[in-house]
């Protein structure tokens, strides 16, 4: 397998020799029959279809269900590298949670002149209803996904923070299960940290955030918008794996100052709601009055300490890409330390000098909407046509506050399985982090997303990317 000299190849050294983390895997791979591997690859796809692991693609005439392609070559990270990453992830998640508390209380970071007040004033994700309120246990960001990219041997950058409702963990779990079913002998040869206990750890972490009124065994429920949501498979999967109830808004109501779910024996109080419903639709009495996805009155119960909502309403501020550009200052302000994981260099189009630079170099930059997600609403300059660049230029000029720009990164590559053998493709990584009052728990691995098209830098599943199992090796 060869790769471009411009990109860091995670499997091979520049001279073509195998890096230590991949040594055992490569010995195994080299001894396999290519026809058998091709058959296993096809089997994996069939299994994913049977299981129903699909996602919905929006923006077409109607939602279309697609399979997220699975690549059976694992991405491998050694133990020492993972320890370094974990320290940086823990520092960042601690800062995000402290930042959320400050934003809804004294706003010391704004008073200190480290964050412009306009970023909150003009931010739809900042909720006035959360001002002065502290969630049970002081936890705002119960489940966080930190998107990481790599550009060199010791060069990792945070590309995005996902603190509202990070998705994709079901793929992390299914990818591992599929790999263990197809190649059990590999896991005897390679000492890999497990991820299968994530649902148990999630249930335990959520229960630790229950309100004071909860009993000895807090009742946890997963609130889903329903079967037409793009991540419904994940909602049902996690509820099942956690032993929690899967509920829709219509299954819940406020009874005697508690949120209660309908059961065969009447209504039963719920202590913790892992909600996969956006803030806007959570409570029609507080937010969008037309919402039928939420629970009327849930915010009153929440503010009275009668239920925990994970993640807390208002955490979408952390996903804002304009806020992201201030994360180095945010980390230092709340932890007193320099960030262990740096940001990608970012130009804020709201700043006059930055705007000029972005407009002058549009063909070379990646431009993103401040509130955009999933690979939508972005321009990848080097891959765009002149017409697309000029159309985007007009959008930026019309509303500069709405955009940030970043350099086109030389993302590292990992091998994927093709008909011609192993071939390098660009990857990113989303580790999953659980936060409870006394612990930050990082699952060893996460979701590796891979750009399956040769040369493509866009790894999002909505844009044609796939996923692969992520191995963290034991010491």
pLDDT value at residue 372: 67
- Give the Cα separation of 319 and 32 in Å (integer): 43
**Cα four-point dihedral sign 291, 293, 296, 299:** negative
- Would you say 295 and 249 are in contact if contact means Cβ atoms under 8 Å apart? yes
DSSP summary character for residue 162: E
CATH fold of the domain at 347-407:
Dna Ligase; domain 1 (3.30.1490)
- Would you say 314 and 280 are in contact if contact means Cβ atoms under 8 Å apart? no
pLDDT value at residue 230: 82
**β-strand pairing of 439-442 with 447-450:** unpaired
pLDDT value at residue 56: 47
Rounded average pLDDT per 10-residue block, the chain, 475 residues: 65 95 96 93 81 49 61 96 98 98 98 93 90 97 97 94 91 94 94 97 98 96 93 93 97 97 95 97 97 97 98 95 94 98 94 94 92 72 90 94 91 93 94 97 96 83 83 96
Helix (H, G, I), strand (E, B) or coil at 315: helix
pLDDT value at residue 378: 85
CB count, 10 Å around CB of 65? 11
- Give the Cα separation of 299 and 310 in Å (integer): 13
Every domain range in the chain assigned CATH 3.30.1490.270: 347-407
Which residue has tokens 């053998």? 421
pLDDT value at residue 329: 97
**β-strand pairing of 220-223 with 245-247:** parallel
Token pair in block for residue 78:
């050694």
pLDDT value at residue 4: 45
pLDDT value at residue 374: 55
Torsion angle, alpha carbons of 141, 172, 194, 429, to 10 = -70
CB count, 10 Å around CB of 184? 9
- Give the Cα separation of 275 and 260 in Å (integer): 14
């Amino acid at each position: 397998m060869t790769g471009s000299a411009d990109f860091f190849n995670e499997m091979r050294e520049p001279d073509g020799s195998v890096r230590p983390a991949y040594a055992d895997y490569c010995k195994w791979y080299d001894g396999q029959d290519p026809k058998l591997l091709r058959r296993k690859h096809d089997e994996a796809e069939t299994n994913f279809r049977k299981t129903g692991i699909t996602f919905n693609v929006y923006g077409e005439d109607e939602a279309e269900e697609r399979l997220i392609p699975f690549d059976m070559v694992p991405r491998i990270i050694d133990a020492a590298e993972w320890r370094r990453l974990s320290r940086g992830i823990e520092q960042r998640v601690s800062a995000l949670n402290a930042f959320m508390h400050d934003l809804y209380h004294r706003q010391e970071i704004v008073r200190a002149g480290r964050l412009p007040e306009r970023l909150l004033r003009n931010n739809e994700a900042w909720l006035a209803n959360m001002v002065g309120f502290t969630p049970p246990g002081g936890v705002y960001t119960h489940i966080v996904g930190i998107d990481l990219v790599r550009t060199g041997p010791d060069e990792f950058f945070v590309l995005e923070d996902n603190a509202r409702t990070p998705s994709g963990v079901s793929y992390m779990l299914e990818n591992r299960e599929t790999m263990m079913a197809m190649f059990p002998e590999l896991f005897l040869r390679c000492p890999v940290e497990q991820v299968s206990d994530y649902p148990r750890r999630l249930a335990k972490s959520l229960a630790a955030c229950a309100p004071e009124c909860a009993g000895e065994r807090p009742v946890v429920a997963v609130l889903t918008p329903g079967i037409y949501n793009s991540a419904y498979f994940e909602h049902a999967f996690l509820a099942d794996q956690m032993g929690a109830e899967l509920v829709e808004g219509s299954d819940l109501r406020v009874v005697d100052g508690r949120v209660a779910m309908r059961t065969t024996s009447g209504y039963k109080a719920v202590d913790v709601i892992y909600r996969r419903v956006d803030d806007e639709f959570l409570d029609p009495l507080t937010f969008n009055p037309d919402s039928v996805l939420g629970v009327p009155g849930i915010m009153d119960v929440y503010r009275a300490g009668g239920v925990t909502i994970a993640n807390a309403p208002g955490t979408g501020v952390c996903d804002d890409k304009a806020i992201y550009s201030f994360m180095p200052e945010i980390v230092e302000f709340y932890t007193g330390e320099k960030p262990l994981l740096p940001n990608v260099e970012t130009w804020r189009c709201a700043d006059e000098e930055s705007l000029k630079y972005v407009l002058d170099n549009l063909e070379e930059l990646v431009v993103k909407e401040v509130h955009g997600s999933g690979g939508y609403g972005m321009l990848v300059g080097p891959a765009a046509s002149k017409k697309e660049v000029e159309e985007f230029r007009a959008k930026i000029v019309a509303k500069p506050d709405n955009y940030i720009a970043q350099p086109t990164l030389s993302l590292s590559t990992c091998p994927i399985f093709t008909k011609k053998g192993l071939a390098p493709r660009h990857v990113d990584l989303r580790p999953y982090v659980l936060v409870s009052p006394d612990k930050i728990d990082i699952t060893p691995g996460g979701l590796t997303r891979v750009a399956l098209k040769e040369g493509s830098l866009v790894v999002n599943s909505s844009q044609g990317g796939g996923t692969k199992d992520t191995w963290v090796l034991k010491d």
